[in-house]
């Protein structure tokens, strides 16, 4: 499904599953930061993996994700990727030169072109690492032999989750579903075509906030395209002229909106709640606007160019 999705075509989300995946995505952040984390209801955390963050001529190995196993159905697993939470990650996020995506086994046509920053985290390694993130993930699949895999992540983690989902769909004959949150676009048109040809309709869903800038990255002139079905929410800081992007992008704020919206039919929630980023602010959730998504990244670039022109003048 292309980036210009209408709310009229939104999929219906399973509320308990979607919230479990959002909680798992938040837990991956907490695991990285060393703070206690909450496992999704009905799941136990059983394993983890790391990734390599390259920065110029150096880099570091960082915690990147958690594996959860269903308590009631031991053959069901969640693989949750964390998002941007370090200076090195921020560098990778804006590193949008493309490279070929090569699956762990088998082949795919057309050869997908993806962001080299995302792919470098997924496939790279350094220092004393003995396995890349990709190799660790497939070793975990071999270790646990899951029957059903749910793949998720937020922001950068959402982008990495989609790389893994395509790799998994090509390389392993098992059932998997990807529900990701606030993802930037991962690759160009070849990536979009390869993803759509490999992953069944409804097996990959992007959940995002209409007012969040990140899902419109990178700018449109770089030729990137979104993949999977889109599920749109809409929330922002009430009575504030400044965009407060961190509040619009927060996985906790998104989870609050989803927790209220998903039990409803349609799955939309107009209401207010305290901002997780700055609790003194009030977030306003509305019925999502209809029509195409706004390419916020393009608008920001236009504003910056206008400001530069004023300084030159």
pLDDT bin (cut points 50, 70, 90) of residue 4 is very low
- Give the separation between CA 309 and CA 206, rounded to whole angstroms: 36
Q: Write down the mean pLDDT value for the chain.
A: 89
Number of structural domains (the chain) is 1
pTM listed for this prediction: 0.92
CATH code of the domain covering residue 233: 3.40.50.1820
pLDDT of residue 307: 54
Token pair of 258 as six digits: 């989803």
Say which residue, 92 or 286, is predicted with more confidence.
286
pLDDT of residue 72: 98
For 90-118, write each residue's pLDDT tens digit: 444 446 889 999 999 999 999 999 999 89
227, part of any domain: yes
pLDDT of residue 264: 97
From 5-9, 16-20, 65-69, 188-192, the region with the lowest mean pLDDT = 5-9
Write the DSSP string, 218-281: S-GGG-EE--SEEEEE-EEETT-SS--HHHHH-HHHHHHHHHHHTTSSSS---EEEE-SSSTTS
2, part of any domain: no
- Find the domain containing 78 and state its range: 7-312
In the chain, pLDDT over 90 holds for what percent of residues? 73
1, part of any domain: no
């Amino acid at each position: 499904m292309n980036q210009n999705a209408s709310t009229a075509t939104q999929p219906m989300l399973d509320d308990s599953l979607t919230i479990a995946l959002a909680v798992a995505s938040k837990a991956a952040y907490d695991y990285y930061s060393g703070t206690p984390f909450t496992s999704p209801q009905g799941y136990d955390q059983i394993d983890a993996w790391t990734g390599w963050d390259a920065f110029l001529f150096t880099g570091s190995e960082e915690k990147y994700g958690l594996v959860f196993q269903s308590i009631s159905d031991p053959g069901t697993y969640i693989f949750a990727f964390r998002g941007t939470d370090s200076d090195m990650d921020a560098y990778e996020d804006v590193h949008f030169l493309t490279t070929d995506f090569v699956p762990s086994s088998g082949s795919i046509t057309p050869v997908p072109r993806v962001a080299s920053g995302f792919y470098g985290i997924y496939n790279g390694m350094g220092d004393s690492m003995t396995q890349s993130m990709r190799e660790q993930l497939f070793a975990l699949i071999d270790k646990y032999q899951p029957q059903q895999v749910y793949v998720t992540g937020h922001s950068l983690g959402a982008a990495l989750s989609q790389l893994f989902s395509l790799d998994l769909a090509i390389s392993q004959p098992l059932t998997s579903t990807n529900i990701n949150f606030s993802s930037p676009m991962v690759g160009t048109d070849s990536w979009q075509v390869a993803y759509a040809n490999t992953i069944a309709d409804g097996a990959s869903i992007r959940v995002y906030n209409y007012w969040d800038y990140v899902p419109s990255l990178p700018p449109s002139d770089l030729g990137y395209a979104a993949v999977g079905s889109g599920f749109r929410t809409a929330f922002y800081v009430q009575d504030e002229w400044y965009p407060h992007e961190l509040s619009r992008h927060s996985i906790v704020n998104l989870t609050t909106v989803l927790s209220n919206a998903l039990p409803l039919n349609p799955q939309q929630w107009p209401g207010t709640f305290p901002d997780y980023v700055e609790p003194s602010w009030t977030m306003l959730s509305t019925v999502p606007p209809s029509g195409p998504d706004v390419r916020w990244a393009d608008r920001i670039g236009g504003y910056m160019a206008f400001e530069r022109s004023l300084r030159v003048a």
